[in-house]
Amino acid sequence: VWHTDSSFKVVPALGSALSAREVPPEGGETEFADMRAAYDALDDGKKQLIQDLTSVHSFIYSQRQMNSDGRYNLTAVMSDEELEALPPVQHPMIRVHPESGRKAIYVGRHASHIVGLPIEEGRALIKELNEFATQPEFVYRHHWRTNDLVMWDNRMVMHRGRAYDPRYKRVMHRTTVAGHVENNPWVVRKQVA
């Protein structure tokens, strides 16, 4: 599922690096969506619409969406204390790269709704933006080879892993670099279903 690492935290990840130690003979690719190019391709009306919007990112929301069929119990994987340490947070829907000044759409699977919009209307807009940004012209698919190393900027890129045959091993090592967000003191204390 398309996401940016740690967008459910007050301080989301700046970047990540993924290293392939052992890869299956097919499948298991990682796809990257360029959220800068997607923003650039939006029509002016859509850019204006989302320019000042803020979305709420929630770990619990995204995990519940992934577990909509009830295959696993989130509280069996994480303690109540761990879940409480990840309250929903707010982030602007448009991020501006601090060095280049480039704008990028900032959504993904952890975005649960949009502040100031009815829940379903906000979710529909998030879905629309996610689908727009993950069109083939904005996506690079990396076919892993042993010892490949890929690094990316989580502020400007979404990514997702692709399925592979579980009969084969896939061993990946990931490092995530914490970022910083200026002027974002908000932590939303109310969980949204």
**Which residues are tagged catalytic?**
3, 5, 159, 174
Could you tell me which residues come within 8 angstroms of residue 147 by beta carbon, excluding any fewer than 6 positions away?
19, 20, 21
What single-letter amino acid sits at 25?
P
CB–CB of 128/45 below 8 Å? no
Helices (H), the chain: 35-41, 44-50, 59-66, 74-77, 80-84, 119-133
Nearest Cα to Cα of residue 114 among 104, 102, 126, 106: 126
User: Rounded distance, CA 134 to CA 132, Å?
Assistant: 6
Integer angstrom CA distances of residue 135 from 19, 31, 33, 41, 191: 25, 11, 8, 11, 31
Residue count (the chain): 193
How many whole angstroms separate alpha carbon 157 and alpha carbon 53? Answer: 19
Residue at token pair 């906000």: 122
